[in-house]
Structure 1
Amino acid sequence: MSGARSARDLLRSAAARLAEAGVASPDADAATLLAHVLGTERSRLFLVEEVALSATVEYDALLARRAAREPLQHLTGVAWFRHVELQVGPGVFVPRPETELLAGWAIEQALATGSATGRTPVVVDLCTGSGAVAKAVVDEVPGARVHAVELDPAAHAWAERNLAGTDVELREGDMATAFEELAGAVDVVVCNPPYIPLDAWESVATEARDHDPHLALFSGDDGLDAIRVLERRAALLLRPGGVVGAEHADLQGESAPAVFSGAGRWREVRDHQDLAGRARFLTARLAR
C-alpha cells in the first residue's frame, strides 16, 4: 500500500508530538484521534497494521489542532458522559469526567425518592450546558420528570441536539428565574455552574480558557456568584426535604458549602471529593 505507515509508529510519534505540546494525556489522545480517523474503536487499534496515506494526512491535521490545544472532543465531535453520548463543539462547555460523580449523586437521589414515595421524581438541571447531566438522569432514572435550562444561546443549541428524543423539558433562560411554576415541587436540583474567580484566568487550562464559553467558566471575584444564585433558586424550587447538588472548584471545598450553611435554611450540608481526592461538589437538604 503506497505511502502507508505502521499504526504503531504513527501512535508513537503522535504521542511524542502531543506530549511536547503539553497535552495532559498524549497517549490516550493520540489513540482516540487515530481511531476516529479510521472509524474504529481504540480497543481495536491493535488489529490495524498499516494506515493508508490519505488517513495519515487526515490524522496529521487533527494532531496539529490538538497540539495547538484545541479540545479533543471538538476534533471528534463527541463526548461520553456516564452511559450517554453527547455532541459537542465550539460554543458549549465540554463535560468533564469529574462531573459524572455529581450526576451519579443526582441519579441516586432521584431513584431513592421514587422508591420511598412511590411517585415520579422531579429533577431540575440548572446551567445544563450540553445537557450532559439532564441526559444522564433521564437515561438512568426511567420515568423521571427532568427539566433543564441554559442561558447561553449557543450552548442551548447543543443541548437541543443532545436532548432531542428524550423526555427532558429544555428551556433557554436564566437559572435565577427559571421554572417558577415548579416552586416547591422539585425533589432534586443539580447544577454545574461557572465557578472560576475572574482573577484566576492564567490558571485555567488552555483548552478551557481558549475554547469553552466564558459564561460557563467565570463567576465573579471569588467564583461564587452563581452558587449564591443557585442557593436562592434551589430553596424556592425544592420541596421541604428536597436536595441540591452543585460542582465547585477544588479550592472551594469550604467556601462553596458555606454559602448554603450560612443561609440558615439547609441541613446536611456537606462536601464530596472526586476520585483524585479533591473537593469537587457540595450537597444540601432543604429544611422541613
Structure 2
Amino acid sequence: MSADRETDHPMGQHDIALLLADAADEVEIGIAPTQALIRGGRRRRARRWAVAAATTLVVAGSTGALALTGLPGGGNRAAPTTTTGSPEPLQPRTGGILATGTDQGAEWRVTLDVWPAPVGIKDARASMSAMARYGETPGVNTPEELVGRSAWFVHRGTTTQNGEEWEHLTLQGLTGPDETMTGKDMDAAAVPLSPASEGPERLVIGHVAKTAREVTCTWKDGTTTKIHRVPAGADVNSDDLTIRTIDGSPYNWFVCLAPAGTEYKSAEVTG
C-alpha cells in the first residue's frame, strides 16, 4: 500500500465540498413570484366573468342545448399524470382544435373536448371526477343526470404579443340520445376574440346538423364570411375556417371570425 494514498487520490471529500460551496455562492436565488401569480389568477377570473356576461347568444331553430359559461378552470388542461401501475384516467374522447389563427400579431385558438356518455351511475361519477381534473363541470346536480348524455366543452385562448396567455371556458353543453339537429338548425355564440378583451364580438363558435354544407356569418359592416363543410378525415389546416366533423359529437362544428373593425351581426345555415 502506498504511503501517499491520501495525496494520490484525485479528489477528496473536502475538495468536493469546497467546490460545491463555491458553486453555490455563484448562484443567485430570487424570491418566488407568489403575489404576482395570485394577482394573475384573480385577474383571469374577473375577466372570465366579464367576458361571459358580454357574450351574445345566437339560436336558430335549435335544441337550445348550448350554454355560455364564465366558470374558471379553462387554463392548463393537460391530461392528468398517473403513477406507475395505476389505471389510465378517463379522458375526453375528442380533444382537438376547431380553429387557430393570428390576428394583429396575437395568436388565437378554439378547442373542443367531447366526453362520452356514461352508461351507469358509477361510470357517471368517474366521468365527473375526470372532468373536474380538466377544470370542466358538466352542469348537472347529480351523476344520475349525466347517464346517457355526452358532455362537450369549448375553450378559446389567446397568446398576446408579450407572451401572456389567456384561456377561457366559453361554451358547454350536454347531448342526449334524442337531441339531434336537422336542416338549418344552429346553435352559436358571438364572443370577443380574446378572453382578455370585453369586445368587439368578432368570433362566432357554433354547431350545426351534420347535413349542413354551408354557414354564412354576416358582419355589421355588411360583409359576409362563408364557411363550408369538409369531409370527415379530410386533411385541412387548423387555421382553415371550415365546418368540421368531430369524432364523438352528434353535431358538426364551425368557427368564423369578423374582419378587424367590425363585429357579429347574424349567422345562418345557407346550404
Whose RCO is larger (CA < 8 A, sep 6+)?
2
Same fold by TM-score greater than 0.5:
no
Normalised by the length of structure 1, the TM-score is 0.24
Normalised by the length of structure 2, the TM-score is 0.25
Larger strand proportion of the pair: 2
Higher alpha-carbon Rg: 2
Larger helix proportion of the pair: 1
